[in-house]
Homo-oligomer: A and B are copies of this chain.
Amino acid sequence: MSPLNKQQLDQIRDERKEQIKQAALKIFACRGITGTKMSMIASEAGISEGLIYRYFKSKDELFTDLVIELMEEAGKEIGNLQHSPESPFDQIRTLTQSMLDENNKYAFRLILQARKADKVPEKVGQFLDQYSEKVLIDRLVPVLIKGQQAGQFSEGDPRELLSWYFTVVNSLIMQELGIEKYGLPDTDVLMRILSR
A interface with B by C-beta (< 8 Å): 32, 34-35, 115-116, 118, 132-133, 154, 159-161, 163-165, 167-168, 170-172, 174-176, 179-182, 184-186, 189-190, 192-193, 195
Q: Is the CB of B172 within 8 A of A185?
A: no
Using CB atoms, name the residue of chain B closest to A192: B192
A-B CB contact pairs (8 Å), 25 listed: A34-B34, A35-B118, A115-B176, A154-B192, A160-B182, A163-B180, A163-B181, A163-B182, A164-B182, A164-B184, A164-B189, A165-B185, A167-B175, A167-B180, A167-B182, A168-B185, A170-B175, A171-B172, A171-B174, A171-B175, A174-B174, A185-B193, A189-B193, A190-B193, A192-B195
Cα(A132)–Cα(B176), bound, Å: 14
Using CB atoms, name the residue of chain B closest to A181: B163
**Contacts A185-B164, A192-B192 known; A180 to B118 CB distance under 8 Å?**
no
Whole-angstrom distance between the Cβ of A121 and the nearest chain B Cβ? 17
Q: Is the CB of B35 within 8 A of A133?
A: no
Cα(A165)–Cα(B195), bound, Å: 16
Please indicate the chain B residues that have their CB under 8 angstroms from the CB of A186 in the complex: 164
Please indicate the chain B residues that have their CB under 8 angstroms from the CB of A116 in the complex: 176
**Contacts A34-B35, A190-B193, A193-B192 known; A172 to B182 CB distance under 8 Å?**
no
Using CB atoms, name the residue of chain B closest to A163: B182
Cα(A108)–Cα(B163), bound, Å: 23
Cα(A69)–Cα(B192), bound, Å: 35
Cα(A129)–Cα(B165), bound, Å: 28
Cα(A34)–Cα(B34), bound, Å: 7
